[in-house]
């Protein structure tokens, strides 16, 4: 139990109440001495009286709000083990962020891994923001020749491997808290576990490529998801989705348990028009 975390958590505005309960539960379960906090989703659901789907959603939202971080890779190291979480509002000198406000930027340890699935920023070992480049002083900056627009654009474009190494060394997350991806999944009705799988496939497809460079690899991943190019899920005409054969095999290979069907139904684009 962490008395520090429990004292701090009550000063944070979080809604709905069930989501606040999950945050209080994390504060209670965190080790005061080591900071270790790695309950499974099923344990959180059972102890908080929630379904696993609810518990998983609230944990993802707390990560997106900047109140919780998933250290290590997107599943805490071994894909068959629970994530190790960190409560940002009990860090030294940290001010508890308010739900709905931009999350406070805190220094993160270099873990060598991601999560996914996604704060805009940590990626998984299988495959969770801005590079910390040294700032030139004024004299050095004046001695540098100005770059043309074309040169500046070329400099900003990186291979996936170079970009991934850069954000990993900076202690950043890849897509686990990238808001556009989370919003897309919620709007369309895709389980976040499927987004994690899609990220693993995307990373495998691009990590060894040297012929493709992008200025924004997160946006590239989002476009792949939107167009279904990763073949992790399939759509039905009624607006529901199901895990593809490739998605099922990838989940088995990674040793993760994911839903085979989406629960949400995408509203018709013609609703109210005819």
Which domains are seen in the chain, by residue range?
Answer: 1-99 (1.10.10.10), 159-274 (no CATH)
Q: Give residue-wise pLDDT tens across range 9-60.
A: 788 888 888 888 888 888 888 887 777 788 888 898 988 989 999 989 999 8
Helix H or strand E encompassing 185: helix 179-188
CA–CA distance, 16 with 13 (Å, rounded to integer): 10
Name the band, by pLDDT with cuts 50, 70 and 90, for residue 262: confident
Rounded Cα–Cα distance for residues 10 and 24 (Å)? 8
Banded model confidence at residue 223, pLDDT cuts 50, 70, 90: very high
Q: Kindly report the backbone phi and psi dihedral angles of residue 242, in degrees, each rounded to the nearest multiple of 5, phi listed first.
A: -140, 155
Tokens 């493709």, residue located? 212
pLDDT given for residue 123 in this prediction: 43
As a whole number of angstroms, the distance between CA 225 and CA 192 comes to 12
d(CA 114, CA 123): 1
Residue 129: the pLDDT is 31
> 179-202 pLDDT, tens per residue?
999 999 999 999 999 999 999 999
pLDDT > 70? residue 83 = yes
- CB-based contact 222:181 (threshold 8 Å): yes
């Amino acid at each position: 139990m962490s008395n520090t975390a429990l004292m701090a958590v009550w000063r944070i505005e979080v809604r709905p109440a069930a989501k606040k309960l999950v945050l209080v539960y994390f504060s209670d379960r965190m080790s005061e001495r080591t900071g270790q906090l790695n309950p499974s989703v099923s344990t959180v659901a059972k102890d908080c009286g929630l379904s696993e789907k609810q518990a998983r959603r609230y944990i993802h939202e707390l990560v997106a709000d900047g109140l919780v971080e998933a250290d290590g890779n997107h599943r805490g190291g071994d894909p068959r083990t629970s994530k190790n979480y960190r409560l940002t509002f009990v860090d030294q000198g940290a001010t508890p962020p308010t739900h709905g406000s931009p999350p406070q930027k805190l220094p993160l340890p270099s873990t060598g891994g991601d999560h996914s699935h996604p704060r805009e920023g940590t990626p998984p070992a299988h495959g969770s923001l801005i590079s910390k480049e040294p700032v030139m002083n004024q004299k050095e900056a004046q001695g540098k020749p100005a770059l043309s627009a074309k040169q500046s654009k070329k400099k900003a474009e990186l291979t996936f491997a170079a970009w991934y190494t850069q954000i990993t060394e900076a202690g950043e997350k890849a897509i686990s808290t990238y808001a556009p991806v989370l919003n897309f999944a919620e709007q369309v009705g895709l389980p976040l576990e499927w987004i994690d799988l899609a990220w693993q496939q995307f990373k495998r497809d691009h990590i060894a490529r040297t012929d493709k460079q992008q200025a924004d690899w997160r946006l590239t991943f989002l476009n792949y998801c939107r167009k279904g190019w990763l073949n992790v899920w399939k759509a039905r005409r009624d607006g529901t989705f199901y895990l593809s054969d490739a998605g099922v095999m990838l989940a088995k290979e990674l040793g993760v348990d994911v839903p085979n069907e989406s629960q949400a139904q995408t509203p018709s684009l013609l609703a109210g028009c005819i």
